Structures are given as structure tokens and as C-alpha cells.
């Protein structure tokens, strides 16, 4: 369902912004500003850096291109993101404003004013210092969706260390790989996380991962579920014990950082090998995310904003934790899954907390749509004014349902295209841009995206091509942690002559210049909007003693966008069957995480390969979908 062809059919429908929305927009002349930025993107970002961000010392250059593609932004500027996100609010009238409203799965409500959040962050920053964390060190954070996750992130950033958050849905091997790659001496985790009424034992998973990555010296454990956990003396400490020590005072100096110092690493899947740790830096990143959030979601002082992603993904880093706080916004965060424990939990929360902006993923919309609109109709959703979508193309049915039954044809839908690598929104409307369901509309002001052929020539209208970005932007990842060569090879090699960034996506532009994302061109599979590399799932499968070789493909799915179909060649003498298929699915779940679990495990005698030995996943996919095999000339056999 979420492939390009269907979006084209919806193309003729245009939803112009309502007069009301335009009249009240933060940036009513956005299209003119965007037009002006086409000629001078750096000037646009320079203005935003001055308008939205406080600098300890001003930068002396907006963009430095001397070591392309290792671009630098705002060089010479001194800054800390926590100063902009917290310090300045906690010492202004905003100290009494709510920064965060959190609701647990079982309905407990906890609120944090800016002052309270700032104090908690300061305390934990002091705790991290007492554990030996210094500027430039990495801290791995592996937690459920609790306020202590953003607190741990902000505390790390405050003292100039680099956080590496690993999504709480990942399992042992995935966590171990990320800890080892980031070389974190300190890990912050929870005893457990609540998920659909059950607890996930995060501490056990952490213990297993830590045993596979001997760099870890200290583990700080936040008590969420109260379940029994094993604490290793001298290594493991309870968060609440450390916080009650005199060292954990509510005052902590904010470290002065260079604009280009590291802020965080976030791992994401790619075509080959282990996940890449993308490094984001202190200066440009915050300019990009603050500007995009303000323009796109039209953030106002009185808003109550809900980005329903997990803080453990880039969406959460940029648009749950950092950008809303920089803008002084009140955010809502829910611990549980959509539709849990009852189908209208989200709609009830929107009414209860008077949420005005909801930003979520197509897969969540589709899952709630399945319960029926009557669940939404039971609630007063009139507080909503803007909706958002991210993670994969939104299919027209889901778009219409969201627009009609949640937004009551009053709320524009911001379909934001971007990536872990881009740091912030890249192709997106703002509330004053006419919408077409399924299209992210136009590149944001200052972003020069295009769809081109293999030789770099721009595609004709409605012709599929490579989605590229032709000019640097401030939120861009600066490198792959520990592997700059991989950064160049992955993103800058395909269009090296032109010096363009290749996104890995295919797309087309229509006759109005609107962008339509088709999907990944590489071996990345989007399952429920989560990004998985075939390589990760395949290496988990072959780590099972019965499996000799494995190949995975993504197959379109009504609800999840795609699901994983795995092909396995078994070791000699092993018999395939339903039990083994179930065991292999479980094995992937334990090693990588529930989201990586293949929907189907099929046993085969051979896999189609090129003469150079590469698995031709394209052929496997064509076969499963009953499509023509296409060019098979490079097939070995
Ligand atoms: C890939 C990046 C950026 C936050 C979440 C995903 C796909 C993302 C859209 C959208 C169509 C989208 C692309 C992209 N994608 N947003 N609005 N429409 N496709 O970040 O996990 O790094 O994945 O997600 O394929 O390359 P990510």
C-alpha cells in the first residue's frame, strides 16, 4: 500500500490552507521567505541562529565548506543546547510554565515546570560527573519512555558529554554493538519498562549486553517497575540513591561548547554491516530543529504539543526533547503504546490535556484507524489545530481518515520527510502551504533537495529518480562515529562529482514541483516506520547454530508499511519446519528486538547471487510479489 504508484492517483487533490490558519500563522509570508532562501540558504540559517538561539560567544562564519563533505556551521560560536533548552527558561518567567506533562501507562500524571526539569537535570548532571563522566565522553542511555530519559540526555549534554540513546525496544546484541562502538564507560538504564501491561526486563538485557562489551564501568539504574534485578556491587547504582547524595545538588554549571563539538550519536541502519553511529553537533543542529519546529508546527506559547514518537529515535531527540524545550513549549509524553489499554486512549488524552498539535507516524494512524472512527468521535478533539506525520509515506486512506476524523477537516497535516542523518525536517509543508495527501510538498526554506537521474540530470515531472540534497544544511550529521570514510562512502560517493548528498530514497516531483517519496533504494526496510537494515536481521539469523545463510526482504503490509520476509539456508542435516521457523523468529527478537522479527521465515536450498557473490534481494522480492524478475544477466546461477 505505501508505494509510490498509489500516491500519484491522489495527486490531483489539493487542500489549500484555510484563511484562519494563514491569519494566525507564525510565518504567514513563509513562501516568500522560502523563495528568498533559494539564492542564499546560509543567510536564512544565519537569521534563524540569531533569532532563536542564544550564543555565549558569536560565531564568525555561518558555513565553512573547506573540507567538504565535512561541512562546518557557525564556526567559532560558543554554545550549549541545554542553555537554550532549559537554563534560560528556568531563570525567566517561563520557570513556572510546564515543560513536560507525562502520563504513565496506568494513568499516573506527572508534570515538570521548566524550573523543576532544570533542577532534575542539574542533579543528574552532577551524578554523571561523580561517576567520572567528562566532556567528550560518551554515555549510553537505554530506557523506557519515562521522563528520566530526556533528563539523562539533557544532563549528559549539560556537562559536554555525548549521549548515545539506544531505543528501549532493542535487545541484547543490538545494545552490545552500540555500547562497544561508542565505547561508553557509563550506561544509564531502568530496572524495567512497562509495555502493554507487562514489564520488559531492561536491566537483564543491559547486563547481558554489558557482559559482551567490557568497556562499561558503571551502570546507573532508574527504578521504574520495581521488579527484582541483580545489582553488581561497585558497578551498578540506583538512580535514586545517587540523587540523594550531597553531590547531586540542583546547581550545575553548563559546559561551554564549540558549535562543532559532538552533542550525540544515534545509530541507524544502513545497507551493509553494523549500524552506523551518526554524530550530531552542538550548534547547527539546534538552529535547524528550532527553526523547523517553529515554522512547521507553528509553535505558540499557549500550545500543548505531543510528538508521539519515542525519545530514543531521531524524531524524539529533535522534536520531543530539544526543539520544543528550546522554543519554551509545553510537551506531552505518554509511556504506553497507541491503543493501549483501550482503543481511544490517545483520543482521551488529547481531550484531557487539550493537546493542540499531534505529530505521529502513519503506522500508528493505521493501527488506530482499524478500531474505527467511533472511538475518536467519543472525544472532544477541538483543541487540535495542527497534525503531523513522519517515518514513511502516508497512504491516502490514512491521510483522509486522520484529516477527517481527528482533525475534523480543520487541521492541516504536516507530512515531514527527513532522516536520522538530516537531524531535522527537510521536505515539509508549513501551515500556509497548500497540501496534497501523500506528498511532503516542498523542501523547507534553505534546503535544496531535488530528484535526479543517475548522471545527476534533474528528472522530468513525475519521473522516478534519486532524492538528493544539493547544498549543506545546519542539522546534517557530521560524520559516522569513528569512521569518517564510511560517512563519505555512504552519503557522498554516489554524486561525488557534483558534491551532493544522496538520501538513499527514490522520489518524484510532480508538475507543481511537489515531492512524492517512493521509498528506500537500498537494503533498508521500514517496518512500522522503524528503520532496519537487512544486514542486521540476516546476521542475527546466521548467528543461530542451525542457519548457514540468510537473506531478508521487505514485503508491503497493510498495517506496518512493510514486514520482513526471511529466507534461510540451513546447515547440513538440519530439517526446516514450523518449530524451527518460530525459534528463528524468537532468536531475532532476542538478538535485535521485537521490531526486527520476521513475519515469515522460509527455508530454501539456495539464494540468488551475483557472480561476485552478492545476494540479489530484488529477485527474491519479485518472486514473493509475483512480479517479473527483470534483468537477471548478473545472476550467477
Ligand atoms: C527514512 C529515514 C526522520 C524521522 C523518522 C525516520 C523515510 C521518513 C518520511 C515521510 C516518506 C519518509 C524515508 C527516509 N521517511 N519520513 N514523511 N514520507 N518517507 O528517520 O529512521 O532515519 O528513516 O524514513 O525513507 O529515508 P529514519
What pLDDT score does 394 carry? Answer: 94
Residue nearest to atom 1 of ligand 1 (CA): 419
Q: Are 476 and 69 in contact (CB under 8 A)?
A: no
Distance, in Å, from the CA atom of 636 to the CA atom of 629, rounded to the nearest integer, reads: 15
Q: Is 531 in the pocket of ligand 1 (CB under 6 A)?
A: yes
What pLDDT score does 636 carry? Answer: 72
Residue nearest to atom 19 of ligand 1 (CA): 392
Ligand 1 atom at minimum distance from 418 CA: 3
What pLDDT digit, counting tens, does each position of 36-55 carry? Answer: 999 999 999 999 999 999 99
Share of the chain above pLDDT 70, in %: 97
Banded pLDDT at 12 (limits 50, 70, 90): low
What pLDDT digit, counting tens, does each position of 133-172 carry? Answer: 999 999 999 999 999 999 999 999 999 999 999 999 999 9
Q: From the CA of 354, how far away is ligand 1's center (Å)?
A: 28
Q: From the CA of 391, how far away is ligand 1's center (Å)?
A: 4
Q: From the CA of 530, how far away is ligand 1's center (Å)?
A: 9
Q: Are 64 and 81 in contact (CB under 8 A)?
A: no
pLDDT over 90 at 20, yes or no: no
Residue nearest to atom 10 of ligand 1 (CA): 417
Helix residue ranges, H only, 492-575:
534-542
What pLDDT digit, counting tens, does each position of 394-430 carry? Answer: 999 999 999 999 999 999 999 999 999 999 999 999 9
Q: Are 158 and 125 in contact (CB under 8 A)?
A: yes
Q: Is 416 in the pocket of ligand 1 (CB under 6 A)?
A: yes
Mean pLDDT of the chain: 95
Q: From the CA of 504, how far away is ligand 1's center (Å)?
A: 10
Which cell numbers in the block locate residue 367?
493501527
Average the pLDDT over 450-470 and give the result: 97
Residue nearest to atom 17 of ligand 1 (CA): 417
pLDDT over 70 at 243, yes or no: yes
What pLDDT digit, counting tens, does each position of 202-216 carry? Answer: 999 999 999 998 899
What pLDDT score does 631 carry? Answer: 74
What pLDDT digit, counting tens, does each position of 342-374 carry? Answer: 999 999 999 999 999 999 999 999 999 999 999
Banded pLDDT at 100 (limits 50, 70, 90): very high
Strands 78-79 and 236-238, sheet pairing = unpaired
Ligand 1 atom at minimum distance from 520 CA: 25
Average the pLDDT over 175-180 and give the result: 95
Q: Is 418 in the pocket of ligand 1 (CB under 6 A)?
A: yes
Average the pLDDT over 458-469 and give the result: 97
What pLDDT digit, counting tens, does each position of 563-592 carry? Answer: 999 999 999 999 999 999 999 999 999 999
Burial of 39 (0-12, 13-18, 19+ CB in 10 A): exposed
Q: Is 517 in the pocket of ligand 1 (CB under 6 A)?
A: yes
Q: Is 554 in the pocket of ligand 1 (CB under 6 A)?
A: no
Q: From the CA of 471, how far away is ligand 1's center (Å)?
A: 19
Average the pLDDT over 323-335 and give the result: 98
Q: Is 619 in the pocket of ligand 1 (CB under 6 A)?
A: no
Q: Is 268 in the pocket of ligand 1 (CB under 6 A)?
A: yes
Burial of 196 (0-12, 13-18, 19+ CB in 10 A): exposed
Distance of CA 616 to the CA centre of its chain: 29
Contacts of 343 (CB under 8 A, 6+ apart): 368, 371, 372, 375
Q: Is 189 in the pocket of ligand 1 (CB under 6 A)?
A: no
Place of cell 540513546: 165
Question: Whole-model pTM?
Answer: 0.94
pLDDT over 70 at 1, yes or no: no
What pLDDT digit, counting tens, does each position of 523-537 carry? Answer: 899 999 999 989 889
Distance, in Å, from the CA atom of 488 to the CA atom of 280, rounded to the nearest integer, reads: 15
pLDDT over 90 at 269, yes or no: no
End-to-end CA separation in angstroms for the chain? 32
Q: Is 367 in the pocket of ligand 1 (CB under 6 A)?
A: no
Q: From the CA of 418, how far away is ligand 1's center (Å)?
A: 5
Ligand 1 atom at minimum distance from 531 CA: 21
* Whole-angstrom Cα Rg for the chain: 24
Q: From the CA of 321, how far away is ligand 1's center (Å)?
A: 19
Contacts 24+ apart (CB under 8 A), 351-356: 351/379, 351/380, 351/381, 351/383, 353/101, 353/304, 353/306, 354/304, 354/383, 355/304, 355/305, 355/306, 355/383, 355/384, 356/302, 356/303, 356/304, 356/305, 356/383, 356/384, 356/385, 356/386
Q: From the CA of 479, how far away is ligand 1's center (Å)?
A: 19
- CA atoms 4, 9, 11, 15: torsion sign: negative
Average the pLDDT over 451-455 and give the result: 98
Q: Is 504 in the pocket of ligand 1 (CB under 6 A)?
A: yes
Q: Which of 390, 422, 522 to mutate to test the pocket of ligand 1 (most atoms within 8 A of CB)?
A: 390
Q: Is 2 in the pocket of ligand 1 (CB under 6 A)?
A: no
Residue nearest to atom 18 of ligand 1 (CA): 393
Q: From the CA of 390, how far away is ligand 1's center (Å)?
A: 6
Q: Which of 311, 391, 441 to mutate to test the pocket of ligand 1 (most atoms within 8 A of CB)?
A: 391
Q: Is 475 in the pocket of ligand 1 (CB under 6 A)?
A: no
Q: Is 314 in the pocket of ligand 1 (CB under 6 A)?
A: yes
Distance, in Å, from the CA atom of 133 to the CA atom of 186, rounded to the nearest integer, reads: 8
Q: From the CA of 419, how far away is ligand 1's center (Å)?
A: 5
Helix residue ranges, H only, 223-272:
239-243
Distance, in Å, from the CA atom of 33 to the CA atom of 174, rounded to the nearest integer, reads: 43
Average the pLDDT over 430-454 and give the result: 97
Q: Is 423 in the pocket of ligand 1 (CB under 6 A)?
A: no
Amino acid at each position: 500500500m505505501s508505494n509510490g504508484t498509489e500516491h500519484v492517483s491522489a495527486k490531483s487533490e489539493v487542500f489549500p490552507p484555510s484563511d484562519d490558519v494563514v491569519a494566525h500563522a507564525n510565518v504567514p509570508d513563509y513562501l516568500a521567505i522560502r523563495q528568498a532562501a533559494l539564492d542564499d540558504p546560509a543567510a536564512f540559517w544565519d537569521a534563524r541562529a540569531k533569532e532563536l538561539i542564544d550564543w555565549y560567544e558569536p560565531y564568525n562564519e555561518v558555513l565553512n565548506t573547506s573540507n567538504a563533505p565535512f561541512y562546518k556551521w557557525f564556526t567559532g560560536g560558543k554554545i550549549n543546547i541545554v542553555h537554550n533548552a532549559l537554563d534560560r527558561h528556568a531563570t525567566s518567567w517561563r520557570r513556572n510554565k510546564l515543560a513536560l506533562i507525562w502520563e504513565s501507562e496506568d494513568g499516573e500524571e506527572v508534570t515538570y515546570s521548566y524550573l523543576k526539569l532544570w533542577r532534575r537535570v542539574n542533579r543528574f548532571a552532577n551524578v554523571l560527573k561523580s561517576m567520572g563522566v567528562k566532556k567528550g565522553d560518551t554515555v549510553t542511555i537505554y530506557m523506557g519512555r519515562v521522563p528520566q530519559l530526556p533528563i539523562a540526555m539533557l544532563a549528559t549534554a549539560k556537562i559536554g558529554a555525548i549521549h548515545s540513546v539506544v531505543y528501549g525496544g532493542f535487545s541484547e546484541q543490538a545494545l552490545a554493538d552500540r555500547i562497544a562502538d561508542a565505547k561508553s564507560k557509563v550506561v544509564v538504564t531502568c530496572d524495567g519498562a512497562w509495555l502493554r501491561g507487562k514489564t520488559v526486563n531492561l536491566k537483564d538485557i543491559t547486563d547481558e549486553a554489558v557482559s559482551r562489551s567490557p568497556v562499561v564501568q558503571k551502570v546507573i539504574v532508574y527504578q521504574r517497575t520495581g521488579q527484582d534485578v541483580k545489582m553488581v556491587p561497585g558497578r551498578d547504582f540506583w538512580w535514586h540513591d545517587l540523587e540523594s547524595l550531597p553531590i547531586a545538588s540542583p546547581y550545575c554549571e553548563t559546559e561551554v561548547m564549540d558549535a562543532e563539538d559532538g552533542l550525540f550519536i544515534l545509530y541507524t541502519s544502513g545497507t551493509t554491516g553494523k549500524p552506523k553511529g551518526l554524530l550530531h553537533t552542538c550548534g547547527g543542529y539546534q538552529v535547524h530543529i528550532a527553526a523547523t519546529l517553529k515554522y512547521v508546527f507553528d509553535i505558540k506559547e499557549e500550545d500543548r504539543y505531543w510528538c508521539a514518537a519515542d525519545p530514543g529515535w531521531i524524531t524524539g531527540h529533535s522534536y520531543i526533547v530539544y526543539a520544543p524545550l528550546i522554543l519554551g513549549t509545553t510537551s506531552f509524553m505518554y509511556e504506553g503504546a497507541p491503543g493501549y489499554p483501550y482503543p481511544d486512549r490517545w483520543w482521551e488524552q488529547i481531550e484531557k490535556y487539550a493537546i493542540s498539535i499531534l505529530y505521529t507516524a502513519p503506522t500508528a494512524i493505521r493501527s488506530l484507524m482499524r478500531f474505527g472512527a467511533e472511538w475518536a468521535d467519543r472525544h472532544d478533539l477541538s483543541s487540535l489545530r495542527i497534525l503531523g506525520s513522519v517515518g514513511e509515506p502516508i497512504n491516502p486512506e490514512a491521510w483522509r481518515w486522520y484529516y477527517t476524523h481527528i482533525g475534523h477537516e480543520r487541521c492541516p497535516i504536516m507530512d515531514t520527510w527527513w532522516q536520522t542523518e538530516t537531524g531535522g525536517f527537510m521536505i515539509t509543508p508549513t501551515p500556509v502551504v497548500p497540501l496534497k495527501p501523500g506528498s511532503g510538498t516542498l523542501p523547507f526554506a534553505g534546503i535544496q533537495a531535488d530528484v535526479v537521474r543517475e548522471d545527476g540530470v534533474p528528472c522530468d515531472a513525475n519521473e522516478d529518480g534519486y532524492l538528493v540534497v544539493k547544498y549543506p544544511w545546519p542539522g546534517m550529521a557530521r560524520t559516522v562515529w569513528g569512521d569518517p570514510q564510511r560517512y563519505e562512502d555512504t552519503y557522498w560517493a554516489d554524486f561525488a562529482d557534483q558534491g551532493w548528498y544522496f538520501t538513499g530514497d527514490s522520489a518524484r516531483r510532480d508538475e507543481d514541483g511537489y515531492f512524492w517519496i517512493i521509498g528506500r533504494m537500498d537494503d533498508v526496510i521500514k517496518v512500522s516506520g522503524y528503520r532496519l537494515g537487512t544486514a542486521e536481521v540476516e546476521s542475527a539469523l546466521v548467528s543461530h547454530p542451525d542457519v548457514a545463510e540468510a537473506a531478508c526482504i521487505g514485503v508491503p503490509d497493510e498495517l506496518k508499511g512493510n514486514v520482513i520476509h526471511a529466507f534461510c539456508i540451513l546447515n547440513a542435516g538440519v530439517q526446516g519446519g514450523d518449530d524451527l521457523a518460530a525459534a528463528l523468529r524468537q532468536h531475532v527478537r532476542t538478538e535485535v528486538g521485537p521490531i526486527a522479527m520476521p513475519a515469515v521465515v522460509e527455508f530454501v536450498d539456495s539464494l540468488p547471487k551475483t557472480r561476485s557473490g552478492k545476494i540479489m534481494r530484488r529477485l527474491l522480492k519479485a518472486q514473493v510479489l509475483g512480479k517479473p524478475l527483470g534483468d537477471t544477466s548478473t545472476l550467477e546461477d
